[in-house]
Structure 1
């Protein structure tokens, strides 16, 4: 799994609506070796083994949203789609089966395709709870305070020694 992993780093600044983060979003392309049987369970267990839990199995919402009390990992176990990060003027990225996307607290994300165009396991470091924020003016500065208190994860969600813990310092 660790042979020549492509890690894309995407830094998103506060755009006035979404806080985003000084930590980069990390996209690990094709890193998951998805089995034919029980692919979602495979991804869920991999994340749990690395202390990322409180998982869910669904698609990605078709509207901009972010979490202010935790970071999030998305493991794509089927399908493909285009996501937009950071708000309506943010970059668009293509994700597909086998990819892992690590999203820092505060970073907006939205599915530009159909919500269920991908099968995703989402999880949070140490099983933290998550909140939902939508870029409304009333959310801030409360969400900014929440984001500043979110601890850095001690582990990468798939166990890479040169992954999240290398790039988020």
Structure 2
């Protein structure tokens, strides 16, 4: 399994992160939603859900997030208006560090991802401008790094780049 890494510097009202966004093209052996939920839970990630990616910029200060495409396709922006665009198709997985802005730019009507979080963390949504940037950075800095790769369950697996 090979991973791509993208560092996304702070934007005007999106903190982003010094930790790189981790993209894995063939993240799961079976990109069906039920199998992906089970896989994430087996690897210690919790709070799993199936839905789309919101079509507005948002980020999380209460958790790192994994997104795995299980249906359809979409272009997802990461990092704010000057960030990157990633084409997501079934099997593509992304580990999104807390603070990294993301948004669905376009997609098919059946586009869906399975998402989840490390133990004790959540995906509470923060929109740009809803929190003072210094406060957001302080909250993000208190989060523990995930112990296990969400895709393989290895320690640290694809998250070695995070220093876990």
Q: 1:127 to 1:100 in 2, by over 3 A?
A: farther
1:10-159 to 2 correspondences below 5 Å: 10-34=6-30, 39-114=32-107, 116-136=109-129, 138-158=131-151, 159=153
Unaligned 5+ runs, structure 1: none
* Secondary structure in 2 matching 1:66: coil
TM-score by length of 2: 0.91
* Secondary structure in 2 matching 1:110: strand
Unaligned 5+ runs, structure 2: none
Q: 1:49 to 1:146 in 2, by over 3 A?
A: same
Query: Aligned match of 2:157 in 135, 146, 163?
Result: 163
Q: Distance in 2 between matches of 1:25 and 1:65?
A: 15
Q: CA deviation at 1:143?
A: 1.3
Question: Would the aligned equivalents of 2:14 and 2:133 in 1 still touch at CA under 8 Å?
Answer: no
Q: Which residue of structure 2 aligns with residue 8 of structure 1?
A: 4
Q: 1:157 to 1:121 in 2, by over 3 A?
A: same
Q: CA deviation at 1:28?
A: 0.3
Deviates most, 48-57 or 126-135? 126-135
